[in-house]
Chain A
Amino acid sequence: MKDHDAKGIPHTTPRQSATFTQDANSDIRRAAATGIYDIRGGGAKRKVPHFDDLLFLGASISRYPLEGYREKCGTDVTLGGRHASNPIKLDIPITIAGMSFGALSGPAKEALGRGASAAGTSTTTGDGGMTPEERGHSSKLVYQYLPSRYGMNPDDLRKADAIEIVVGQGAKPGGGGMLLGQKISDRVAEMRNLPKGIDQRSSCRHPDWTGPDDLEIKILELREITGWKVPIYVKVAGARPYFDTTLAVKAGADVVVLDGMQGGTAATQDVFIEHVGQPTLACIRPAVRALQDLGMHREVQLIVSGGIRNGADVAKAMALGADAVAIGTAALIALGDNDPKWENEYNALGTTAGAYDDWHEGQDPAGITTQDPELMKRFDPVEGGRRLRNYLKVLTLEAQTIARACGKNHMHNLEPEDLVALTMEAAAMAQVPLAGTDWYPGKPGTSY
């Protein structure tokens, strides 16, 4: 491109709009060409305040550290002791979030069970019911109780180690789901009691209860059916975390699962994923405050999910008051999703490794988010399980490293005082001081 015209007058530099970005323009062109909104998997991709905006202070004269490789730093967690006679005891505070058979292949679900069990933690079913592969390979399995009730039955309910009533999901608070027809194999169709090949809609709200008073009775029913043995979790999206946590606890939940907007989904409208809900970081402190106000912090456990990637994220979530975290997208990446080794095939699908999110279309080159028998053959559940176990181990070691540096002999001893924030936004959301100050926006006793 010439930098001047024929008369020698300089051109201005071509300037891209900060409002009409290349991304925004491509969305407009796609909408104009198709007449329908974009559906994709995954969580919010926009940049939001996150755990990266927090730092640990580590030890100093007033705090002494624990020896990194010698001194004990506990990672175990017990979930659901409030009412259940058999609470879940995990070796590590990192669980596998709910992902459906249907969205994922059978071997992928098996790998999640293998990896989680080897690491001493739980995995979770999803919409579509419980598969024998998953139950068989998961030493601790949480059975999701979803609005669609696809595959729901009392026999599987009694096989579960815990029940998770799903009220909301961080990627789509207030939204349901859709499993497109191309992923409805004979087996998926049979489990969901619907014809093969049709789009299967998952409802956005439960068919037989509305509101917290009904939820309390629903929890009573599930406890009666399972003999008050297993914990009942209630999963809420990061929408109104203070009130949702309060209401879930008042309804009788043993555990609250809180999923921020970076939490993934198998398929939802892009506009929904990016514009509804709150960042994970913004949700934790209000939920913890709700538990504290009820005198239930640590008695009812809080599991946080949505954007957990490394041990620092785990430690930060726990320092802010979570009892454990859950991973979904990170677990899929550990299994091999979006691996650059499939780059040519991602390119053929019009995308690139790391950006592939059309999980609902069933063409996953890694053979994980598909029901295509040929693609599924690419994925080895034993190897996948090993990779997930390794990843969970690293997350745990990283989190322990940080906890020891902060002088904590158990992950649960991490506290907000161990943290500072790098930005005003993160300081306000996490309610920890802006680095170099003793202040955060909204701090009690300050007028701003």
Chain B
Amino acid sequence: MQTFDLEAQGLRALNSTLHAQAENTNQTHWEIINPKGSHAIAVGLDAPIEVNVKGSTGYYCAGMNKQATVHVHGSAGPGTAENMMSGTVIVEGDASQYAGATGHGGTLIIKGNASSRCGISMKGIDIIVHGNIGHMSAFMAQSGNIVVCGDAGDALGDSCYEARFFVRGSVKSLGADCIEKEMRPEHIKMLEELLERGGCDAKASEFKRYGSARTLYNFDVDNAAAY
């Protein structure tokens, strides 16, 4: 286990040290102490390492992550795991707005609640939230999955494309062109796998599925009022 004191050694030293880890590094376990809400912690990683952040983080923790597992033992600021490509990011507490924004792959697990615009413009990432998610989540979501064990706020999935949303609790409102969809056996199976991956104590049968009605895929003036 490598321990890195962020307050003492600084952000540049942290990220350059983590970037220097090769594919076959034997320094696979890292612990970051004294994060104190710093921004851009463990961004742009590209190695199969595990990074444990002992405290809360600021903006963009684990941004553009590839391969690595980043575990935040606290809450995370805006844009956590933004544009993630692969790997896993786990937030023990709550996540602020834009969690998992534009993520292309990998898994983001939020054990608390996620704020507004969770999964905005997501492009393949799986986001699993143990609590609730805020308004305008999954706006223009392209692909991937969001699992919400609690409730979803206003305008879920507004103008979404092929992404899927599984919500156990209530949905305050659905956004433009987002509808409730049938839970077929393949979706149950997919959700069971996601719930297991996210360590969620919930049954797939308790969830409803939402996604795009695909009526806004090609611009039509008769739909202008829907935007």
Contact = CB atoms under 8 A, between A and B. Distances in A.
Interface in A173-230: 178, 180-181, 192-195, 198-199, 201, 203, 207-209, 214, 217-218, 220-221, 224-228
A154 interface: yes
Contacts, number: 99
A312 interface: no
Interface in B10-34: 11-12, 15-16, 19
Nearest to B80: A208
Contacts of B124: 193
Given A217-B59, A221-B39, A209 B143 contact: no
Contacts of A371: none
A207 B60 contact: no
A445 to B, nearest CB: 46
Interface stretch (B148-156, B164-172, B197-205, B216-224): B216-224
B217 A198 contact: yes
B85 interface: yes
A246 interface: no
B210 interface: no
A35 B218 contact: no
A220 B82 contact: no
Interface residues of B, number: 41
Given A154-B46, A208-B79, A224-B43, A198 B121 contact: no
B78 A208 contact: yes
A214 B120 CA distance: 17
A227 B16 contact: yes
A224 B40 contact: yes
Contacts of A34: 221
B102 interface: yes
Nearest to A36: B221
Given A35-B221, A218-B60, A207 B120 contact: yes
Contacts of A149: 83, 102, 121, 123
Interface in B45-98: 46, 58-60, 63-64, 66, 78-79, 82-83, 85, 98
- 5 smallest beta-carbon distances between A and B, as pairs: A225-B44, A198-B217, A36-B221, A208-B98, A149-B102
Interface of A: 34-36, 148-149, 152-154, 157, 178, 180-181, 192-195, 198-199, 201, 203, 207-209, 214, 217-218, 220-221, 224-228
